[in-house]
Structure 1
């Protein structure tokens, strides 16, 4: 089983006195070094420009992270799960995973990124700001750029395994995966018979489900096994794949 996650806008900078720095060759799929270097160089150029805020589609409060984009190679780095600290990652609770569970996460969890394409759970990265829907000079839309780059290495790594997809839309498009192997995770809140999607709660549910799956005595290998784990926490419904649309796992909160 592979679990696919989005990054988070919220990030925590590692200790500035640490020795770890970004090493592109140490990241998952080292054959993407050239592509990652192209994105880093273009991102650094944009981030140093006067129009950085508009090009990168960020608010004024995010400009400190935009500034960090200009010194990615020299900035302190830490494992991806320690850098990302948004709602999904708080719900996942990686800091409370055992060593064995962290090792499983390092093997089975992939985090998609506008800057790196995809990284492993334990890959060491610096703080940055770059979403997948940004357009960079010379590269264009990053979602389209990474879709071309990731097709072959992702197909090779996933093989015939089940994929639990906890990503949001722009990240899903970079590697949709075979519909018959992908289980897309959704969350709905239900009140008075009416269901709606609340982004905050959806992120939290996907993180919580990821944490539950990583804490199982053995990895889930089938859709029914994932649904059984999810049923510990939510009302669960499964919608089978149709054409190019993958299987859907609906987590219903009341």
Structure 2
């Protein structure tokens, strides 16, 4: 089972690993595009106004541009430790035992605008690049990533659970992947799409899938696994599950 997570805009600073080693990352077939994008963000960082425009940053976020300037020399962290925010708080990999962390590193992967795909243990620096960014002189990120990343994901040879947000899923759609929609249900039975706290619920799903010893190989077995864990999961579309949470539990 491969569980795809979105990255986060915010990232833990610093690190204790050697600088970025592209040949040492998983999925080496992605390295030509990785090298092209790393070179582009590094060069762009020399022009602060252009970086602000391309990356959608305000004047108070120039530290993000400095991160890109140091993308090749800065210390690294494993991907699952680098990203922060609501989803990663719910995932809470720092609470895992060593054995659980090995399983998480094998099962969880992050869809990255800069690196394409990162396995949990791949070491990367802090950086700033979003799925919707447009780097000067380059095609769109979707045009760069889709031809090389989609075959990698399609050839995973295992059940793919795609928890990426829309922009990152668009970079490289995965045929046959299982997606999860999160809906809140009010006492009167009406439902609505969960927006911000969708990330927290997906983080909890990712944690469950990282820790389980089961190996679901179909959407039906995945649904059964989530239901055994006490989640209200419905299956109405062939490759989509719907997680229904009480409205008063959405922000917990």
User: Would the TM-score normalized by the shorter structure come out above 0.5?
Assistant: yes
- Structure 1 consecutive aligned stretches of length 4 or more whose deviation exceeds 4 Å: none
Residue 147 of structure 1: how far off its partner (Å): 0.8
1:190 aligns with 2:185: yes
- CA pair 63-186 structure 1, distance change in 2 beyond 3 A: farther
1:130-156 C-alpha deviation (Å, 9 max, x unpaired): 001111123221122111221333233
* Higher alpha-carbon deviation: 67-76 or 189-198: 189-198
Provide the TM-score with structure 1 as the length reference: 0.89
Q: Is the 8 A contact 1:213 1:226 kept in 2?
A: no
CA distance, structure 1, for counterparts of residue 116 and residue 245 of structure 2: 32
1:97-129 C-alpha deviation (Å, 9 max, x unpaired): 222222122222221111111111110000001
Q: Is the 8 A contact 1:12 1:84 kept in 2?
A: yes
- CA pair 45-205 structure 1, distance change in 2 beyond 3 A: same
Q: Name 1:235's counterpart in structure 2.
A: 232
Which of 190, 195, 198 aligns to 1:199? It is 195
Structure 1, unmatched stretches of 5+, are 242-246
CA distance, structure 1, for counterparts of residue 240 and residue 57 of structure 2: 31
Q: Is the 8 A contact 1:143 1:170 kept in 2?
A: no
Q: Figure out how many residues of one structure are paired with residues of the other and give that number.
A: 243
Q: Is the 8 A contact 2:150 2:173 kept in 1?
A: no
Q: Name 2:71's counterpart in structure 1.
A: 72
Q: Is the 8 A contact 1:2 1:162 kept in 2?
A: yes
* Higher alpha-carbon deviation: 82-91 or 136-145: 136-145
Q: Is the 8 A contact 1:112 1:171 kept in 2?
A: yes
Structure 2, unmatched stretches of 5+, are 247-252
CA distance, structure 1, for counterparts of residue 202 and residue 5 of structure 2: 9
- Superposition pairs for residues 1-254 of structure 1, below 5 Å? 1-15=1-15, 18-49=16-47, 50-156=49-155, 158-159=156-157, 161-179=158-176, 182-191=177-186, 192-231=188-227, 232-241=229-238, 247-254=239-246
CA distance, structure 1, for counterparts of residue 201 and residue 54 of structure 2: 31
CA distance, structure 2, for counterparts of residue 106 and residue 33 of structure 1: 20
CA RMSD of aligned residues (A): 1.7
CA distance, structure 1, for counterparts of residue 92 and residue 17 of structure 2: 25
Provide the TM-score with structure 2 as the length reference: 0.90
